[in-house]
């Protein structure tokens, strides 16, 4: 069942940071393209939050899951960390695949 998507403040900052890093190294066009793919991946999560490609992340807390952007664009290097809520999907973080997810997702990332 499709649910609306909401970005936590930290996830919005993650997208801006990713865009800035990509732009500095690969140019504006590539940064815009990559951000579009991240947004497409979040829409896919909203369409089927427990669907193929999502992963249960019990180590992060109840109802937490992740989805790798590479399911939408190869090669992508980022992971969407989200919480399935009753009436919405809360995007908690957008993290590089090499980051330790558990150390990057903290309770303060969840606005409630």
The string of pLDDT tens digits covering residues 98-112 is 888 888 886 555 554
List the domain range (segments joined by +) for residue 72: 5-99
Confidence of residue 84 (pLDDT cuts 50, 70, 90): very high
Spatial neighbors of 30 by CB under 8 A, at least 6 apart, are: 22, 23
* Residue 107 is assigned to a structural domain of this protein: no
* Residue 75 is assigned to a structural domain of this protein: yes
- Number of domains the chain contains: 1
Cβ–Cβ < 8 Å for 110, 8 = yes
Q: Which residue has the tokens 């997810």?
A: 101
* Residue 38 is assigned to a structural domain of this protein: yes
User: How confident is the model over 26-77, as pLDDT tens digits?
Assistant: 999 999 999 999 999 999 999 999 888 899 999 998 999 999 998 877 778 8
Cis peptide leading into 75, omega within 30 of 0? Answer: yes
Q: CATH code at 86?
A: 3.30.2310.20
Q: How far apart are CA 65 and CA 54, in angstroms?
A: 6
- 3-state DSSP assignment of residue 61: coil
Can you list the alpha helix ranges (DSSP code H) found in the chain?
9-26, 28-47, 101-104
* Residue 106 is assigned to a structural domain of this protein: no
pTM (predicted TM-score): 0.88
* Residue 108 is assigned to a structural domain of this protein: no
Q: Is the dihedral of CA 17, 77, 80, 6 positive or negative?
A: positive
* Residue 11 is assigned to a structural domain of this protein: yes
Of residues 103 and 18, more confidence is placed in 18
């Amino acid at each position: 069942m499709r649910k609306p998507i909401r970005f936590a403040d930290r996830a919005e900052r993650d997208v801006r940071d990713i865009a800035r890093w990509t732009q500095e190294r690969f140019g504006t066009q590539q940064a815009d393209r990559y951000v579009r793919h991240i947004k497409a991946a979040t829409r896919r999560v909203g369409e089927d939050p427990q669907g193929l490609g999502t992963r249960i992340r019990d180590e992060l807390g109840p109802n937490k899951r992740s989805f790798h952007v590479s399911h939408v664009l190869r090669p992508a290097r980022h992971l969407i960390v989200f919480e399935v809520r009753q009436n919405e999907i809360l995007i908690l973080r957008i993290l590089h695949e090499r980051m330790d997810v558990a150390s990057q997702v903290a309770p303060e990332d969840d606005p409630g």
